[in-house]
């Protein structure tokens, strides 16, 4: 159902955006990408001759409305967000503006396109496993209440609930996805466990683990996540059967921080570089991972990559990237400290 459709991807220059745009192009869609900026380091620049890129803020109501109408947009993949837990803790108001106001701006523009112009515009909102907050029952399922407590978690809980409200109140064709921790080529924020650990090991440095190493998460290869989004949007454009629903995206292989670091050490042949465990992490949930059986049953999606296979491809990309770049970007360097890479627990 995607050939010939014009699809807008917000936040297209982040980690997931370029992978999603690639997958949408492969499915025959015409793609427009919008973001605040397009860093030289972003993989989205590889697609600049195949998609239209628009610089702007998703909180700009006039801009979003004009983009939807002038480009005859049929569907929006709303990825744009302030996505870092640490940044949210330091700047909660900015995070709430980007993640909450940005979401309602997209949804309201889609509603007006339908109500005023009589044209279909579906929306798939990228929420997060953090929207659930903390639950003792594991793994998390889609019917669990959304009870974020910390700034980033709350921003995703709010955006998630607003998206649900637009479907239930206005019958807007909306779905929500809640992903585990994404990893893959193109992520230059070394505060994340992947790629932070990879870069440390490539440099012959001990990775620094900010937590005590025991937090448990699921890690989903970004290519698999992109294919899940394409499958959901295709299903929404075909029928109303899944409108209003939420879906977890996970490879259903939860591991602890220490386990994923050990896996990377083994894959890279650097078991000699033992991690430095700081145990200073705060405002984090100890165990949080998802069950993706609903998504698998609804649209037939299955992850193509095991955790090890995804990590292997990711390692190869960073090895080549560092060989060619010679040094990390400013964003990547911001995660470095004391001669090693600062690795988040989630």
Catalytic residue numbers, as ranges: 152
Rounded Cα gap, residues 232 and 256, in angstroms: 29
Task: Give the residue ranges of DSSP H helices in the chain.
Answer: 16-26, 61-70, 85-90, 92-96, 102-117, 151-170, 193-202, 222-238, 257-268, 293-299, 307-325, 330-333
Task: Residue count of the chain, please give it.
Answer: 346
Contact status, residue 289 vs residue 138, Cβ threshold 8 Å: yes
Rounded Cα gap, residues 52 and 30, in angstroms: 9
Rounded Cα gap, residues 189 and 210, in angstroms: 15
List of residues 6+ apart from 311 with CB closer than 8 A: 183, 194, 221, 260, 263, 264, 267
- For residue 254 the two structure tokens come to 């939860």
| Beta strands at 255-256 and 216-217: parallel, antiparallel or unpaired | antiparallel
């Amino acid at each position: 159902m995607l050939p010939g459709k014009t699809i807008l991807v917000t936040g297209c220059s982040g980690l997931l955006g370029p992978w999603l745009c690639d997958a949408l192009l492969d499915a025959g869609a015409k793609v427009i990408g919008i973001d605040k900026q397009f860093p030289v380091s972003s993989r989205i620049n590889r697609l600049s001759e195949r998609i239209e890129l628009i610089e702007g803020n998703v909180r700009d109501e006039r801009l979003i409305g004009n983009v939807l109408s002038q480009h005859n947009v049929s569907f929006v993949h709303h990825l744009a967000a302030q996505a870092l837990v640490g940044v949210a803790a330091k700047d909660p108001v900015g995070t709430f503006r980007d993640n909450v106001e940005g979401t309602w701006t997209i949804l309201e523009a889609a509603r007006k396109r339908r109500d005023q112009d009589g044209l279909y515009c579906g929306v798939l909102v990228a929420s997060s496993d953090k929207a659930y907050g903390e639950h003792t029952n594991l793994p998390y399922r889609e019917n669990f209440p959304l009870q974020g407590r910390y700034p980033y978690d709350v921003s995703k809980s709010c955006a998630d609930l607003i998206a649900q409200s637009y479907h239930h109140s206005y019958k807007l064709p909306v779905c929500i996805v809640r992903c585990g921790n994404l990893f893959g080529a193109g992520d230059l924020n070394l505060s994340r466990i992947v790629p932070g650990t990879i870069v440390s090991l490539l440099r012959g440095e001990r990775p620094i683990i900010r937590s005590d190493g025991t937090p448990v998460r699921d890690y989903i290869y970004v290519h698999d996540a992109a294919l899940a989004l394409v499958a959901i949007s295709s299903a929404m454009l075909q029928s109303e059967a899944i409108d209003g629903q939420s879906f977890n995206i996970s490879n259903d292989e939860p591991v602890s921080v220490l386990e994923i670091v050990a896996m990377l050490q083994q894959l890279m042949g650097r078991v000699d570089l033992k991690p430095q465990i700081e145990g200073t992490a705060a405002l984090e949930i100890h165990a949080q991972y998802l069950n993706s059986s609903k998504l698998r049953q609804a649209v037939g999606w299955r992850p193509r990559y095991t955790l090890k296979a995804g990590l292997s491809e990711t390692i190869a990309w960073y090895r080549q990237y560092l060989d060619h770049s010679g040094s990390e970007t400013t964003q990547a360097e911001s995660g470095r400290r004391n001669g090693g890479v600062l690795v988040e627990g989630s």
